[in-house]
């Protein structure tokens, strides 16, 4: 696996878009989280504060996930649009290894950027909030980083299936943002609860909660597991399709 991993790392690090998107992930996560934290003041949040300040501080993930989706989609879609996928498969005929190497390198890069953004957001919250969260809560912090990694893999999976960057990004954004909006628009409480429980993003974001856990549609770790299941299933399906079709 060393050769495919090195090849994928070389391709990703030489693309300017990779570093722009990773930088945007860090900035959006930190700045939007800090902005959300700044909305909590002693005037609107008396002591003891009932607001889930940890979840509020990590709300930047809801926007930075879009840059991660684009990063994952571009990593495969760009090769199809330029035709370099043929060169890749000529040099490395093992398609499962190619896809696994892309997923591994993307996961490491996204995890690093996500960790920097999430920890920066929590650090800024300590300076802004009147009653800052103590330390870096393990589950919300780790879960938020994993959300970004899984969304990147979702983008990679969709681009592998569709062979088109724009189509993969459009469908991915619909999954991330349109489905939660529809869940809020449906009049049926039963279907609202089902969509919040089984849609990837409403379910996954429950991992950020530190208060009122009994009101969540799904528990934190199982909620993250829903997103993981979507990403894993689509990646496996993309791998099969990638293996069976011509480049």
Residue-wise pLDDT tens digits, 212-230 = 888 888 999 999 999 999 9
Lowest mean pLDDT among 44-48, 125-129, 132-136: 44-48
* Helix 220-244 and helix 189-198, axial crossing angle in degrees, nearest 10: 60
CA-to-CA distance for 103 and 13, rounded, in angstroms?
A: 14
The answer for residues whose C-beta is within 8 angstroms of residue 80's C-beta and 6 or more apart is 159, 163, 164, 165
d(CA 196, CA 188): 12
Q: What does the pLDDT read at residue 136? A: 62
Query: Which residues neighbour 214 within 8 Å (Cβ) at sequence distance 6 or greater?
Result: none
The three-state secondary structure class of 187 is coil
pLDDT exceeds cutoff 60 at 135: no
Residue 130's SS3 state is coil
CA of residue 119 relative to chain centroid, distance: 16
> What is the per-residue pLDDT for 130?
63
Task: Output the pLDDT for position 45.
Answer: 52
Contacts 24+ apart (CB under 8 A), 47-54: 47/130, 47/131, 48/131, 49/130, 49/131, 50/211, 52/209, 52/210, 52/211, 52/212, 53/125, 53/129, 53/131, 53/132, 53/133, 54/122, 54/133, 54/137, 54/140, 54/208, 54/210
| Calpha distance 113→12 (Å, rounded) | 14
* Cis peptide bond prior to 26, omega within 30° of 0: no
* Domain tally, the chain: 1
Domain hosting 33: range is: 2-244
What is the structure's pLDDT at 134?
A: 56
pLDDT digits (tens, 9 = 90+) for 30-52: 999 989 888 775 445 554 466 78
Q: Which of 18-27, 78-87, 122-131 has the highest mean pLDDT?
A: 18-27
User: Phi and psi of 168, rounded to 5°?
Assistant: -65, -40
Cβ atoms < 10 Å from Cβ of 1: 10
> Residue 183: is it exposed, middle or buried by C-beta count within 10 angstroms (0-12/13-18/19+)?
buried
Point out the least confidently predicted range of 83-87, 165-169, 200-204.
83-87
């Amino acid at each position: 696996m060393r050769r495919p991993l090195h090849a994928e790392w070389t391709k990703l690090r030489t693309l300017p878009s990779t570093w722009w998107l990773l930088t945007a992930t860090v900035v959006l996560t930190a700045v939007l989280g800090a902005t959300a934290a700044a909305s909590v003041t002693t005037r609107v949040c008396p002591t003891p504060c009932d607001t889930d300040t940890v979840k509020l501080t990590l709300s930047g993930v809801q926007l930075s996930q879009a840059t991660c989706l684009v990063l994952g989609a571009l990593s495969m879609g760009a090769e199809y649009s330029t035709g370099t996928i043929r060169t890749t498969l000529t040099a490395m005929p093992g398609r499962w290894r190619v896809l696994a190497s892309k997923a591994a390198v993307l996961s490491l890069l996204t995890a690093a950027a996500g960790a920097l953004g999430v920890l920066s957001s929590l650090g800024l919250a300590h300076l802004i909030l009147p009653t800052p969260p103590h330390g870096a809560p393990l589950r919300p912090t780790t879960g938020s980083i994993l959300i970004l990694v899984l969304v990147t893999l979702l983008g990679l999976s969709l681009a592998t299936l569709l062979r088109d960057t724009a189509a993969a990004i459009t469908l991915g954004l619909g999954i991330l943002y349109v489905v939660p909006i529809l869940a809020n628009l449906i009049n049926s409480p039963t279907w609202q609860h089902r969509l919040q429980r089984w849609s990837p993003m409403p379910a996954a974001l429950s991992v950020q909660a530190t208060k009122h856990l009994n009101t969540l549609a799904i528990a934190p770790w199982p909620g993250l597991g829903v997103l993981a299941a979507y990403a894993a299933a689509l990646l496996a399906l993309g791998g099969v399709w990638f293996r069976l079709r011509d480049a």
